[in-house]
A and B are shown apart, each in its own frame.
Chain A
């Protein structure tokens, strides 16, 4: 009964989405207040029904209803409860429902927090989001119904993929989808503004906090995914340039460019059509990511079981949404007047250069991701593109972007003063250069690339610090937007320090060990104390004990495991990590090689935590920026003004 209720709720949600995607547009175009007013309650109603559907599916998982095909394929009665809930989005169908759930959550937020927007604008925004919801709800209902019954019911389920049985599964997908889908808000704002012909600073001010919020979720989502891969996959890597990782990274790159471009549009009225294009592209890449994951055109560890019908549906939807909006863009944005002028040395030109670099970097990632597909489609053979391509293309593009980000906050809008910037940064530059040359020596091995990586990191940190000092001296006060920007930039510095030091100084060893054996690596010694059998709720495991010592003192006792899950029978490596701010000691159990001996892999990862700390700083910077007072003040002021606007428009139309 519950699954049918969920199915029915989805159908109702689709009906509401159809209304939401049509009537408000009509109302806004023909100036019919009654139809314009439909948008808000429709969005809220749709949220209620999607939430009911989501709740029904989660309940089916929680209560082990194996008469639902989705539950029988992706859960098991012995699966612990938090993972049963997380299994709700463990399948293609369930994750689509999560997608729609997030979309309706954003719609609800827009309908609640945008009371200051002109009614017609809000109607068009929610209309665009309604149309997106129509696409995804019909995709789900026509090709991927999560509530499909299995009759007769299975006695027990086939269990969730063991790789997914991890706290990461509980948090990573919702965060990531929240970010992915959040770009639909910026997209809807852009489309509404294009239809309306109202591409101005006000539009940019409205969309900024939404864009930043989506970006924050995406940042956290990607960082969580990276952290999860690090400790779960047992290889000790933190980023693999897997097609699906790239699919989430590309919207992030464009989203970053969009945030910066929106700043210019808000402050200076410039880059209007550029900003709109970025908003369209950011969401288009989110949709493209959805297509890549679900259509089976690329091989990836993330790919879902595929069905050609689904690929065709999403591709059609993608073509319609993206093609439609780019056509609208070509038609409308070509008529937008170019904005304010600026000099070669100015905040605008720096931000423009940065967004171009980010876009080129994104294009490089896109090319690398789709290159195997292009060649195959042209009949030129099968190849795969790996990390060497991405690293050698991506790093040189990001280096100048980071150098610019160090200077940018110190350059004035419209016309910067070169000598002034130089004077302010002169000491920073000297200190940063000296530190970058010196620090690698502390690790005992100097290399040009290490020094260069650190130079970039120290430079952006130094630039942020200098900007902070300048601002404090000028006594203009520090807004939370400014603090957020500096924190996010500093986060990039911390991130780059982590990446540089891990790449330069990580060490690893594969050792064959018998109980009592000791092996050394990077100043630590590892004593293997044997392996014993343990059993978990739904798996059996061999758990090793490894004592990590330094100078004869015990640093940590690590217990890496080799698990075999009872239902799916595939072995899983659970690495054990002794985490630290300056290094992680990472131990994974390999294979049993007879006579109680095992192969053991140990890694020392210097400063690897800084990678994720940097991401968290970026995300928190985004939170600060999005919560700036001026958006709330602007909202209140706009409230009065928009009432007046609307009445003028109406009388003008009459």
Chain B
């Protein structure tokens, strides 16, 4: 193999120079290592997961009639001191049916009270739907014109909010709740909040 470079007399100055040259040539790999670090962290992030500005904020107040007892009204502050789920649903919503069995099962073991916000729906349709598929809700309130949905920033149905004992929104799911999400995110978070 050919010699790479003319060999310098081994004096100190030359050695120091070689060292500083080497540092300069190490710079690209240094930058690259930092970049790989970021990319590795990035792999575990989901760029499509858009945080709701409501997370960490108090749940917007409302006063709405109950689906089953229209003469009674509900305000979120009734749930003070409890950690609960607010699930936005409608009888016309197909993906609500996907998540529904999961909610029914969750309500059976009673870890977490679930309240429904019946969104832009007709009362009779909503009641028939609950009769047919089961009613996981401690109670459902009626947001017939979707006015409260605007306050909560509802993009589409279903959506689910986890609200803590102080009435602060801790988590928001856009789209159906999956059992994976429930087991890995919502329930552990709820347990931590219940302590």
Interface residue ranges, A against B (CB under 8 Å)? 196-198, 273, 277, 280-281, 284, 291, 295-299, 308, 311-312, 315, 318-319, 322-323, 326-327, 329-330, 332-337, 370, 372-374, 376-377, 382
Partner of A377, one of B2, B22, B32, B45: B45
Chain B residues, Cβ within 8 Å of A322: 32
Q: Are B29 and A297 in contact (CB under 8 A)?
A: no
A382 contacts B2, C-beta separation under 8 Å: no
Please, which residues of chain B bring their CB within 8 A of the CB of A284? Answer: 32
Q: Does B40 contact A (CB under 8 A)?
A: yes
B94 to chain A: closest CB distance in Å?
15
Within 8 A of A (CB), among B1-49: 1-6, 18, 21-22, 24-26, 28-29, 32-33, 35-36, 38-48
Q: Known pairs A291-B39, A297-B42, A382-B50. 19 more at Cβ < 8 A?
A: A196-B1, A277-B28, A284-B32, A308-B43, A308-B44, A312-B43, A315-B36, A315-B39, A318-B39, A327-B29, A329-B25, A330-B28, A332-B4, A334-B24, A335-B5, A336-B4, A337-B5, A337-B6, A373-B42
Interface size class of B (residues with CB under 8 A): 20 to 34
Q: Is the CB of A373 within 8 A of B32?
A: no
B51 within 8 A of A: yes
The 30 listed contacts between A and B (C-beta, < 8 Å) are A197-B3, A197-B4, A198-B2, A277-B28, A296-B46, A297-B39, A297-B42, A297-B45, A299-B48, A308-B44, A311-B43, A315-B39, A315-B43, A323-B32, A326-B28, A326-B32, A329-B25, A330-B26, A330-B29, A332-B4, A333-B25, A334-B24, A335-B4, A336-B4, A337-B6, A370-B35, A373-B38, A373-B45, A377-B42, A377-B45
Set of chain A residues within 8 Å of B40, measured between Cβ atoms: 315
Chain A positions within 8 Å of B44 at CB level: 308
Least CB distance, B122 to chain A, in whole angstroms? 26
Q: For B51, list chain A residues within 8 Å (CB).
A: 382
- Do the beta carbons of B39 and A376 come within 8 Å of each other? no
In the assembled complex, which residues on chain A have CB atoms less than 8 Å from the CB atom of B26?
A: 330
B36 touches A323 (CB 8 A): yes
Closest A-B pairs by Cβ, 8 of them: A326-B29, A377-B41, A297-B42, A334-B25, A335-B4, A330-B25, A335-B5, A373-B42
Decide if B29 touches A329 in the complex (CB within 8 Å): yes
A476 to B47: give the CA distance in the assembly, Å.
Answer: 58
CB distance from B17 to the nearest CB of A (A): 11
> Is the CB–CB distance between A318 and B36 below 8 Å?
yes
B47-A299 in contact (CB<8A): yes
Q: How many A-B residue pairs have CB under 8 A?
A: 86
| B47–A373 touching, CB < 8 Å | yes
Q: Provided the pairs A298-B47, A376-B45 are in contact, do residues A334 and B39 lie with their beta carbons within 8 angstroms?
A: no
CA distance A295 to B5 in the complex (A): 42
Minimum CB–CB distance from B27 to chain A (whole Å) comes to 8
A372 and B28 within 8 A (CB): no
Residue in chain A with minimal CB distance to B7: A335
With a CB–CB cut-off of 8 A, which chain B residues contact A330?
22, 25-26, 28-29
Distance A329 CA – B130 CA, assembled complex (angstroms): 68
Chain A hits for B28, CB < 8 A: 277, 280-281, 326, 329-330
Q: How far is the CB of A368 from chain B (nearest CB, A)?
A: 14
Please give, as numbers and ranges, the residues of chain B lying within 8 Å of A198 by CB-CB distance: 2
**A373 surroundings in chain B (CB, below 8 A):** 38-39, 42, 45, 47
A242 CB, min distance to chain B CBs, angstroms: 13
Q: How far is B24's CA from A376's CA once the two chains are assembled, in angstroms?
A: 30
Q: How far is the CB of B19 from chain A (nearest CB, A)?
A: 10
Q: Which residues of A contact B36 (CB under 8 A)?
A: 315, 318-319, 323
Residues of B within 8 A of A308 (CB): 43-44
Q: Which residue of A lies closest to B51 (CB)?
A: A382
Complex Cα–Cα for A194 and B8 (A): 20
Q: Contact check, B5 vs A377: say whether CB atoms are below 8 A apart.
A: no
Tell me the dominant secondary structure on chain A's binding face. Answer: helix
Bound: A297/B40 CA distance, A: 9
Contact among B25, B38, B50 for A374, CB-based, below 8 A:
B38
**In the complex, which of the residues A281, A323, A335 has the most CB atoms of chain B within 10 Å of its own CB atom?**
A335
Q: A326-B29, A329-B29, A334-B24 are in contact. Are A197 and B1 (CB under 8 A)?
A: yes
Instruction: Tell whether, in the assembled complex, residue A297 and residue B25 are in contact, meaning their CB atoms are under 8 Å apart.
Output: no
Chain B proximity of A313: nearest CB distance (Å) = 11
| Assembled-state Cα–Cα distance A372/B39 (Å) | 11
Chain A residues within an 8 Å CB radius of B39: 291, 295, 297, 315, 318, 373
- For A329, list chain B residues within 8 Å (CB): 25, 28-29
CB under 8 Å from chain A, chain B span 78-100: none
By a CB distance below 8 angstroms, the chain A residues around B24 are 334
Most buried by B among A277, A280, A297, A329: A297
Measured between C-beta atoms, what is the minimum distance from A364 to chain B in Å? Answer: 15
Q: Compute how far the CA of A295 lies from the CA of B39 in the bound complex, rounded to whole angstroms.
A: 10
Residues in A whose Cβ lies below 8 Å from that of B47: 296-299, 372-373, 376, 382
Q: How far is the CB of A25 from chain B (nearest CB, A)?
A: 14
| Assembly CA distance A144 to B94 (angstroms) | 33
When chains A and B are docked, how far (Å) is the Cα of A336 from the Cα of B43?
38
Question: Residues of B contacting A377 with CB < 8 Å?
Answer: 38, 41-42, 45
| A409 CA to B40 CA, complexed, in Å | 44
B 95-133 to A, binary, CB cutoff 8 A, 1 in contact else 0: 000000000000000000000000000000000000000
Q: How far is the CB of A203 from chain B (nearest CB, A)?
A: 12
Q: A198-B2, A298-B47, A373-B45 are in contact. Are A323 and B29 (CB under 8 A)?
A: yes
| Cβ-neighbour of B21 out of A280, A311, A334, A374 (below 8 A) | A334
Asked if A334 and B38 sit within 8 Å, CB to CB, the answer is no
Q: How far is the CA of A334 from the CA of B29 in the complex (A)?
A: 13
The distance from the CB of B151 to the nearest CB of chain A, in whole angstroms, is 22
The winner among A284, A329, A332, A334 for most chain B CB atoms within 10 A is: A334
| Distance of A312 Cα from B45 Cα, bound (Å) | 13
**Distance of A374 Cα from B21 Cα, bound (Å):** 30
A297→B4 contact, CB < 8 A: no
Chain A residues near B3 (CB-CB < 8 A): 197
Residues of A near B1 (CB, < 8 A) are 196-197
When distances are taken between beta carbons in the complex, the residues of chain A under 8 Å from B46 are: 296
Instruction: Give Cα A374 to B45, complex, Å.
Output: 11
Q: Are B50 and A334 in contact (CB under 8 A)?
A: no
Closest B residue, CB atoms, query A273: B25
The docked-state distance in angstroms from the alpha carbon of A373 to that of B40 is: 10
Least distance between B161 CB and chain A CB atoms (Å)? 19
**Which B-chain residue is minimally distant from A377 (CB atoms)?**
B41
- CA gap between A322 and B32 in the complex, in Å: 8
Give the Cβ gap from A241 to chain B, nearest Cβ, in Å: 16
The minimal Cβ–Cβ distance linking B162 to chain A, given in whole angstroms, is 20
Which chain A residues border B41 with CB–CB below 8 Å? 377
Contacts of A327 in B (CB 8 A): 29
Chain A residues closer than 8 Å to B35, beta-carbon distance: 370
For A333, what are the chain B residues with a Cβ–Cβ distance below 8 Å?
25
Residues on the B chain within 8 Å of A332, using CB: 4
The complex places the Cα of A49 from the Cα of B43 at a distance, in Å, of 33
User: Whole-angstrom distance between the alpha carbons of A311 and B50 in the complex?
Assistant: 21
What residues of chain B lie closer than 8 Å to A295, measured between beta carbons? Answer: 39, 42-43
- Bound state CA distance, A209 and B4, in angstroms? 25
Tell me the complex Cα distance, A326–B3, Å: 21
What residue in chain B is nearest A200 (Cβ atoms)? B2
CA of A332 to CA of B2, assembled, Å: 12
Output the least CB separation between A303 and chain B (Å): 9
Known: A329-B28, A330-B29, A334-B24. A370 touches B4 (CB 8 A): no
Q: Write out the residue numbers on chain B whose beta carbons fall within 8 Å of the beta carbon of A280.
A: 28
Bound CA span A5–B2, Å: 46
A270 → B minimal CB distance (Å): 15
